[in-house]
Amino acid sequence: MHTSQYLLDLSIVVPVYNEEESLPELEAWIDKVCKRESISYEVFLIDDGSDDASWKVIESLSRKNSSVRGLQFRRNQGKSAALNAGFERAKGEVVITMDADLQDSPDEIPGLISKVLDEGFDLVSGWKQTRHDPLSKTIPSKFFNAVTRRISKIELNDFNCGLKAYRNEVVKSVDVYGEMHRYIPLLAKWAGFSKIGEKIVEHRARKYGVTKFGLERFLNGFLDLLTITFVGKFGKRPMHFFGLYGTLASVIGFIFLAYLSIAKLFGGEYGIADRPLFFAGILLLIVGTQLFVTGFLAELIIRSRPEKHSFKVAVDTAELENMKGKESVPSKVPLSK
């Protein structure tokens, strides 16, 4: 299935937080599906600071199945950090993420791989069209997805679905931190991967344990969306944002003060300092100056970074010629079944 560039067909990244009961069943299910479809694979089970026996279970599964690799954080770092750790180590041509609670079905794996390799998508997000969740989760989720869809201009129905598939190049090109795992499609879009698709997937009722997320995730998610949208648009040119609004505020403030000065010179009966417009003009001038200074400082910081001019090249003709030369020489060790 894979080309000589990759050692494996598939990498699966699974963040784990207090899921000791579901892990053996999840591992067996993934192994069954991949063997049935003749998919060479690796699974990263990433223990995100669990306080149950999840790590012991992961160690046991890793000893039993050489395709399972366990990673452990010393404390809870969040889902984004767990995904990023798996992305850094993934060697598969396709990378799939899923939750450890068995609400994501491994039977979706072949379909997701097909969407990436056969249909040419860079990223495919699962859409849990039929959900087995209470209204307290489904209604806020629909509102959150609608707002995210409008702001990001990406037509996905379920940004928060943990079941997603990526080309390996995508996960190597995005930096996932904080709570940004909800916005990997937007991160991928800003990185230049525009072919983003969606696949309806099965949503299973939770079999073990309880949910690890509360309603505060929607507020945090909205704030993260504002952050990532701003950084994506103005991260390389902050003066375009701060300078625009700084100029606007300064010009309006100057107009207010000029009007008051002219009115006073031509016989105004009130003092300049007695007018509310005077304080508004002073405030706007101060705010405009602060925005300008913020923009200048941001530009200086960006230009002092050593990687300021490093941009990832998507295609290099010299590398393509080298790959063709390697493919013409048969490998002594077959890489796929």
Query: For position 309, what pLDDT does the model report?
Result: 45
Q: Are residues 93 and 170 in the same domain?
A: yes
Which tokens in the block code for residue 69? 């690799």
Q: Are residues 209 and 180 in the same domain?
A: yes
Q: Are residues 141 and 176 in the same domain?
A: yes
Residue type, 172: K
Q: Are residues 210 and 271 in the same domain?
A: no
Query: For position 16, what pLDDT does the model report?
Result: 94
Give the domain range for residue 202. Answer: 8-233
Q: Are residues 191 and 297 in the same domain?
A: no
Which tokens in the block code for residue 151? 């702001």
Last residue of a domain, one of 206, 233, 260: 233
Give the Cα separation of 207 and 24 in Å (integer): 13
Q: Are residues 123 and 159 in the same domain?
A: yes
Residue 314 domain flag: no
DSSP characters over 249-315: HHHHHHHHHHHHHHHHHTT-SS-GGGSHHHHHHHHHHHHHHHHHHHHHHHHHHHHHSTTTT----S-
Contact predicate 60/135, CB 8 Å: no
Give the Cα separation of 128 and 232 in Å (integer): 28
Per the DSSP assignment, residues forming a β-bridge with 167 are 94
Last residue of a domain, one of 216, 233, 250: 233
Residue 143 domain flag: yes
pTM of the model: 0.72
Counting every residue written for the chain, the total comes to 337
pLDDT in tens, the chain (337 residues): 555 578 899 999 999 999 999 999 999 999 999 999 999 999 999 999 999 999 999 999 999 999 999 999 989 888 889 999 999 999 999 999 999 989 899 999 999 999 999 999 999 999 988 776 666 666 777 777 787 788 778 888 888 888 999 999 999 998 887 777 888 898 898 888 989 999 999 888 777 766 655 556 666 667 776 776 777 677 678 888 888 899 999 999 999 988 888 887 776 666 677 788 889 999 999 999 999 899 888 888 877 765 544 445 555 555 556 666 655 544 443 434 3
Query: For position 252, what pLDDT does the model report?
Result: 95
Question: 31 Cβ partners below 8 Å, 6+ apart?
Answer: 65, 67
Query: For position 261, what pLDDT does the model report?
Result: 85
Count, in order, helices (H) and strands (E) of the chain.
11, 7
Q: Are residues 125 and 259 in the same domain?
A: no
Which three-class secondary structure state does DSSP give residue 132? coil
Give the Cα separation of 116 and 2 in Å (integer): 12
